[in-house]
Amino acid sequence: MSSHENEVSPMPRPALKTLTYSAMHFAVAISVAFALTGSWHAALAIGMIEPLVQTVAYTLHERAWERIGIGGRRVPEAAAEAVG
């Protein structure tokens, strides 16, 4: 058995990137909220809620783009004729 077989594989790059982006997003949201309110209690409350709301908003935004055919998907002919 080689020494490599017992090693735990590192976190996949996309997962690590998502995790670090989430941490940065929370830090920025809390910092901006503190700068605006001067209150750590308000900053933490806003900073914890805003990224969650943003995630939902992003999901809805992506679905809307898929529905209207933007972002690499073909626009249905009827919609293309209405636009053009």
The CB density around residue 29, as the number of other CB atoms within 10 Å, is: 19
Between the alpha carbon of residue 70 and those of residues 13, 35, 51, 73, 83, the distances in Å are: 28, 37, 25, 6, 13
The tokens of 60 are what? 């809805």
Residue 40 carries which side chain, given as an amino acid letter? W
Tens digits of per-residue pLDDT, 23-73?
A: 898 999 999 999 999 999 999 999 989 888 988 898 899 889 888 887 665
Q: What is the pTM of this model?
A: 0.57
Cβ atoms of 30 and 46 closer than 8 Å = yes
Between the alpha carbon of residue 24 and those of residues 15, 29, 69, the distances in Å are: 14, 9, 31
